[in-house]
């Protein structure tokens, strides 16, 4: 909400705002005057805007409080209770406290606010040159330029260091390459010619040889356990054959002890036992159909089966031995098939590459039969060590080429970097000189414009005092030092602190602040002046008011707090020539009610509002018009020194004031109202005689008391 007019400022639990306080801004009026006696809460309003725009409560600064954040909330409230909201025509922005810091939402909508307090005026005028520079440096906006200069100087320093480092690295890289060259026996007349020729070698051949060796070695290793696997499988087969022979003999011997057909009979008995178990309540024999043998049939079948126990055991042993024999044969067959597959892989790895001379191979080919593999593996076992060595040699060569290539690239890169830096450093130094010169010209130009505007404003406040020759200059011999000077009694470059009065210094500080604030983006800036008119006398204050009216039109909005009584009365009765001002008066502050408004519009505007109501309230109209008439008559009787009964409190009624304007003065009083211009450009005025109006007012004055 950096543009547009203001609608309302709402403050909760900040400093004196113990209850929610809202300040409504009148549309079309860019200047708001907040009047109040000391202790009515004027600074709280300024603090609210300061918090919203700058994240601080400036009225507590420089009071010896240290960290002031704990004093920001109203007494009895916490930081989380504080809220400030500013609504405008383009949106709203809210400030809250989190960990004693202001959090603005939305952050991009934070308004631009400049605050000037009575204590800050002295920092603009009476401060040391270095402190004065700090007070206004953000307005002349050279901090980024100075930061750029600092970065550029640091860049030059760093690049010079980089150049020196590049020189050292070039020498180190050269030494490294020459050491490699020495280790290789200096095969060429130049280390770098040798290095470039070495890295030009095709490294893919080394990689393919190393990978082929790895495949060959892996395939060979896959054959190494087959002798033991074959011996184990063969032993298990022989053992299984022996078990089959032994159990076959036991089974045949058991058959001789029983009647012929015993095996078939056992099968019948087992079937019968199974049937009887499923049908325990048999009434007749299932074979012969006789009922006399059904009783006790299950026990008799069981007895007959037990009489064949030895034959049963022998048959089970024979079946188990037969199964073990089949398993042993299957295992041996699997070993032979696995060996054939691994042998094929080995032969493929052996034949798929054109092996160099340093790779040793077996004198005899890998045997087809697994039982011959043991002898062949023992005869070729020494080959594995040679393959390891050949593989390691190629890995070392690969690493060496990579290392040499990296060293040569680093050397080339550092040489190029050194050449580039040799060209870059002088150009950067030239650029720094240009930036410094441009910054000085820019700063001098800005300060000259500011000083000129300060002089113009100062002359408007102090006309014909010949104090408008103001100058602002940066001291090049001192870091960030701003000198303020004026012309006094014909002497130029005079420090105003030595000769100007306090009032002159205050108004000078105000003019400096206004000129600086105008150098930013005044159309987006809310200007806040907190009770800065204390030391000026009434004629100067009137001229200050005229200047502030003029300046306020250039800003987004201007808010001024004051306890200057004459300004209040002139605004209240509409005596000022400007009409673009909103007048707000604060009542006495209390801890329970906080900030309170008395009236937000001048009485003459309030009377116009009352008359505009339909229907108007006669009682309110008469009361308000009577107050305005008393003020107007008080002005006339004071201006023309009319005879008015003296009162100790200085307050006079219509009964005192109306008769004091005698007939002779009434006849002379008139107002000339400018109505336009004629064809020749001559201004046309309409004359309004005040005598008849005063006579009529005298006649109906008692009507006010009736209503």
Among 28-42, 61-75, 184-198, 489-503, the minimum mean pLDDT is found in 489-503
Percentage of residues of the chain with pLDDT beyond 90: 7
Using the predicted structure, report yes or no on whether residue 671 has a pLDDT greater than 80. yes
Average pLDDT, rounded, for the chain: 80
The predicted-structure confidence for 11-53, as pLDDT tens digits, reads as follows: 999 988 989 999 999 888 888 888 888 888 889 999 999 989 8
Overall average pLDDT of the 128-150 stretch: 68
Among 66-75, 221-230, 360-369, 685-694, the minimum mean pLDDT is found in 360-369
Residue 324 is encoded by which pair of tokens? 């073990």
Peptide bond into 346 cis (omega under 30): no
pLDDT at 45: 92
* Banded pLDDT at 137 (limits 50, 70, 90): low
pLDDT at 531: 81
Using the predicted structure, report yes or no on whether residue 140 has a pLDDT greater than 80. no
Question: Any idea what the Cα angle at residue 468 is, between residues 463 and 469, rounded to 5°?
Answer: 155
pLDDT at 686: 93
Residue 545 is encoded by which pair of tokens? 């008011």
The H or E element containing residue 21 is strand 21-24
Overall average pLDDT of the 275-301 stretch: 69
The predicted-structure confidence for 233-273, as pLDDT tens digits, reads as follows: 888 888 888 888 888 887 777 666 665 556 666 667 677 77
Question: Any idea what the Cα angle at residue 554 is, between residues 441 and 547, rounded to 5°?
Answer: 95
Q: What is the dihedral of CA 270, 273, 274, 278, to 10 degrees?
A: 170
* Banded pLDDT at 676 (limits 50, 70, 90): confident
Using the predicted structure, report yes or no on whether residue 474 has a pLDDT greater than 70. no
Using the predicted structure, report yes or no on whether residue 645 has a pLDDT greater than 70. yes
Using the predicted structure, report yes or no on whether residue 152 has a pLDDT greater than 80. yes
Coil, helix or strand at residue 113 = strand
Q: Which residues contact 129 (CB under 8 A, 6 or more apart)?
A: 475, 478, 481, 482, 483
The predicted-structure confidence for 314-347, as pLDDT tens digits, reads as follows: 777 888 888 888 898 889 889 888 888 888 888 8
The predicted-structure confidence for 90-100, as pLDDT tens digits, reads as follows: 889 999 988 77
* Banded pLDDT at 467 (limits 50, 70, 90): low
Question: Any idea what the Cα angle at residue 415 is, between residues 412 and 421, rounded to 5°?
Answer: 140
Using the predicted structure, report yes or no on whether residue 108 has a pLDDT greater than 60. yes
| Cα–Cα dist 681/465, whole Å | 35
pLDDT at 689: 93
Using the predicted structure, report yes or no on whether residue 480 has a pLDDT greater than 70. no
| Cα–Cα dist 471/243, whole Å | 123
Overall average pLDDT of the 361-373 stretch: 81
Helical packing angle, 502-518 and 383-461, nearest 10°: 130
pLDDT at 687: 93
Using the predicted structure, report yes or no on whether residue 208 has a pLDDT greater than 70. yes
Using the predicted structure, report yes or no on whether residue 274 has a pLDDT greater than 90. no
Pick the residue with more confidence: 202 or 693?
Answer: 693
Using the structure block, give the residue that is written with the tokens 């009787």.
Answer: 637
* Banded pLDDT at 6 (limits 50, 70, 90): very high
Overall average pLDDT of the 285-308 stretch: 67
Residue 320 is encoded by which pair of tokens? 């188990």
Q: What is the dihedral of CA 120, 121, 124, 128, to 10 degrees?
A: -80
| Cα–Cα dist 668/158, whole Å | 85
Q: Which residues contact 182 (CB under 8 A, 6 or more apart)?
A: none
Contact 508, 458 (CB under 8 A): yes
Using the structure block, give the residue that is written with the tokens 């020196």.
Answer: 164
Residue 562: phi, psi to the nearest 5? -160, 155
Residue 400: phi, psi to the nearest 5? -65, -45
Contact 40, 586 (CB under 8 A): yes
Using the predicted structure, report yes or no on whether residue 448 has a pLDDT greater than 80. no
The closest of 82, 162, 42 to 533, measured between CA atoms, is 42
pLDDT at 557: 92
Q: Which residues contact 504 (CB under 8 A, 6 or more apart)?
A: 462, 467, 496
pLDDT at 72: 86
Q: Which residues contact 67 (CB under 8 A, 6 or more apart)?
A: 100
Contact 47, 98 (CB under 8 A): no
pLDDT at 475: 56
The closest of 653, 652, 644 to 704, measured between CA atoms, is 653
pLDDT at 604: 79
Overall average pLDDT of the 556-565 stretch: 87
DSSP 429-470: HHHHHHHHHHHHHHHHHHHHHHHHHHHHHHHHHSTTS----E
pLDDT at 559: 92
Percentage of residues of the chain with pLDDT beyond 70: 81
Using the predicted structure, report yes or no on whether residue 462 has a pLDDT greater than 90. no
Among 10-24, 39-53, 76-90, 177-191, the minimum mean pLDDT is found in 177-191
Overall average pLDDT of the 123-150 stretch: 67
pLDDT at 49: 92
How many CA atoms are closer than 13 Å to the CA of 292, on its beta-carbon side?
A: 0
pLDDT at 94: 93
Pick the residue with more confidence: 618 or 257?
Answer: 618
Using the predicted structure, report yes or no on whether residue 578 has a pLDDT greater than 60. no
* Banded pLDDT at 692 (limits 50, 70, 90): very high
Among 272-281, 356-365, 568-577, the minimum mean pLDDT is found in 568-577
Task: Tell me the whole-structure pTM to 2 decimals.
Answer: 0.52
């Amino acid at each position: 909400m950096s543009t547009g007019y203001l609608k309302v400022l709402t403050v909760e639990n900040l400093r004196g705002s113990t209850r929610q306080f809202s300040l409504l801004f009148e549309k079309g009026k860019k200047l708001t005057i907040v009047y109040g006696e000391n202790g009515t809460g004027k600074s709280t309003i300024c603090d609210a805007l300061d918090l919203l725009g700058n994240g601080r409560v400036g009225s507590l600064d420089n009071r010896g409080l240290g960290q002031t954040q704990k004093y920001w909330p109203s007494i009895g409230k916490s930081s989380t209770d504080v809220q400030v909201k500013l609504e405008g025509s383009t949106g709203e922005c809210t400030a809250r406290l989190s960990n004693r810091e202001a959090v603005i939402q939305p952050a991009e909508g934070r308004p631009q606010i400049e605050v000037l307090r009575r204590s800050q005026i002295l920092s603009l005028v009476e401060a040391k040159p270095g402190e004065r520079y700090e007070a206004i440096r953000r307005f002349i906006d050279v901090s980024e330029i100075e930061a750029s200069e600092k970065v550029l100087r640091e860049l030059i320093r760093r690049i010079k260091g980089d150049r020196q480092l590049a020189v050292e690295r070039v020498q180190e890289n050269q030494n490294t390459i020459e050491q490699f060259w020495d280790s290789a026996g200096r095969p060429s007349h130049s280390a770098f010619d040798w290095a470039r020729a070495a890295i030009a070698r095709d490294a893919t051949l080394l990689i393919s040889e190393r990978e082929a060796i790895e495949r060959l070695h892996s395939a060979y290793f896959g054959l190494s356990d087959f002798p033991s696997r074959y011996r184990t499988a063969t032993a298990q087969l022989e053992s299984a054959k022996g078990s089959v022979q032994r159990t076959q003999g036991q089974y045949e011997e058991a058959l001789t002890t029983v009647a012929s057909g015993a095996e078939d009979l056992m099968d019948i008995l087992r079937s019968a036992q199974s049937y009887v178990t499923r049908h325990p309540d048999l009434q007749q024999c299932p074979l012969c159909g006789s009922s006399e043998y059904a009783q006790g049939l299950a026990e008799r079948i069981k007895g007959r089966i037990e009489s064949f126990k030895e034959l049963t055991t022998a048959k089970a042993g024979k079946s188990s031995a037969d199964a073990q024999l089949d398993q042993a044969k299957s295992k041996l067959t699997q070993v032979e098939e696995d060996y054939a597959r691994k042998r094929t892989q080995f032969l493929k790895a052996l034949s798929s590459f054109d092996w160099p001379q340093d790779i040793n191979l077996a004198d005899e080919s890998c045997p087809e039969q697994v039982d011959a593999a043991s002898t062949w593996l023992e005869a070729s076992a020494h080959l594995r060590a040679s393959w390891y060595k050949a593989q390691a040699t190629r890995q070392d060569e690969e690493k060496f080429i990579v290392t040499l290539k990296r060293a040569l690239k680093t050397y080339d890169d550092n040489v190029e970097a050194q050449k580039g830096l040799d060209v870059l450093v002088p150009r950067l130094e030239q650029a720094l000189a240009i930036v410094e010169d441009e910054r000085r010209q820019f700063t001098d130009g800005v300060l000259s414009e500011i000083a000129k505007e300060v002089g113009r404003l100062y002359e408007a406040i102090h006309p014909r005092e010949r104090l408008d020759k103001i100058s602002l200059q940066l001291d090049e011999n001192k870091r960030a030092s701003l000198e303020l000077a004026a012309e006094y009694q014909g002497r130029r470059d005079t420090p105003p602190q030595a000769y100007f009065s306090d009032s002159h210094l205050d108004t000078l500080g105000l003019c400096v602040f206004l000129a600086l604030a105008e150098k930013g983006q005044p159309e987006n800036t809310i200007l806040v002046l907190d009770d800065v008119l204390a030391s000026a006398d009434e004629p100067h204050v009137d001229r200050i008011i005229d200047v502030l009216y003029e300046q306020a039109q250039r800003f987004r909005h201007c808010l001024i707090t004051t306890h200057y009584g004459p300004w209040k009365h002139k605004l209240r009765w509409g005596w000022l020539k400007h009409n673009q001002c909103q007048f707000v008066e604060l009542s006495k502050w209390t801890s329970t009610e906080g900030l309170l408004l008395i009236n937000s519009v001048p009485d003459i505007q309030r009377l116009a509002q009352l008359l505009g109501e339909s229907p108007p309230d006669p009682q309110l109209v008469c009361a308000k018009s009577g107050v305005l008439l008393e003020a107007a008559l008080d002005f006339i009787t004071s201006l023309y020194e009319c005879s008015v009964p003296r009162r100790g409190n200085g307050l006079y009624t219509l009964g005192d004031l109306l008769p004091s304007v005698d007939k002779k003065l009434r006849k002379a009083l008139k107002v000339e109202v400018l109505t336009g211009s004629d064809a020749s450009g001559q201004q046309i005025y309409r004359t309004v005689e005040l005598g008849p109006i005063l006579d009529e007012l005298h006649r109906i004055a008692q009507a006010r008391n009736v209503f």
